[in-house]
Amino acid sequence: MLTGECNMKEEFYTQMRWTNWLNKVKESRFRLSDSEDNSSGAVFVYIMDDVVLACLKIIARCERGVISPEEALSELSSIREIVFQEHEPLGEDADLMLESLKTSLSAVFVSCQRYIAGDYDCDIPLGDLLMLAVASEKQENLEETFNILGQVGARVIGGESLPPESMEMPYSMTAELLDGIDAISAAMLGDDSYKEDDGTSEEGEEI
């Protein structure tokens, strides 16, 4: 019995949890024209935070030796598959906002993957990396932009702070990706209970 309990697999994020969030988006009847009051749009912030915390839980387990780096990368891939799967239309504006959210979350996933794998350069100042990312996007080298910002995110997970200029960028793909990295930074500065939480959730859990 004890062996069975020890072998129980943690669930860091579930399909049911993501589906519950999509239902809340649908219920919000989000409209871009109403985004100024920040009420119906708040659900997207909550979704971002929820996914980011799940990813940070995985990293915390890996750093404590509870799971291996290979298992951690596999868990991150599982969450990414849930987030990027096709879903039924939720409304034109809500779908646009959700696509923007997924772009931001893509930076979260690659940042976490790079951090776990140690695949990032610590020598170049973060401000310089941001300028390189902007330059790459202007040259339409989006793969390189994504690569650079993944390194930025990995270093933020490692304890570095985003430079002030990251908050002053005009709308662009780089800015959307930075939203995900900023969410990582905010989560790490906030409640750190995710470091000790067991990483499990109930399938019928209300959110």
pLDDT over 90 (residue 69): yes
Whether residue 54 lies inside any domain: the answer is yes
Sequence-distant (6+) residues with CB within 8 A of 30 are 40, 41, 43, 44, 91, 93, 94, 97
What mean pLDDT do residues 15-32 have?
93
d(CA 146, CA 136): 9
CA distance 47 to 65: 28
Q: Using CA atoms, how far apart are residues 181 and 109, in angstroms rounded to an integer?
A: 10
Domain membership of residue 207 (yes or no) is: no
Determine the 3-state secondary structure of 199 from DSSP.
coil
Q: Which residue has the tokens 């909550």?
A: 46
Q: How many other C-beta atoms lie within 10 A of the C-beta of residue 167?
A: 10
Does residue 104 lie in a domain region?
Answer: yes
Within-domain flag for 50: yes
Q: What is the pLDDT of residues 192-201, one digit of tens each?
A: 666 665 444 4
> Nearest CA to 181 among 48, 57, 80, 81?
48
Q: Number of structural domains, the chain? A: 1
Tens-digit pLDDT profile for residues 130-152: 999 999 999 999 999 999 999 99
Within-domain flag for 200: no
Q: pLDDT value at position 141?
A: 96
Range of the domain at 161: 10-195
Q: List the structure tokens of 76.
A: 């991150």
Return the amino acid letter for 33.
S
Terminal alpha carbon distance of the chain: 32
**Average pLDDT score over residue span 107-131:** 95
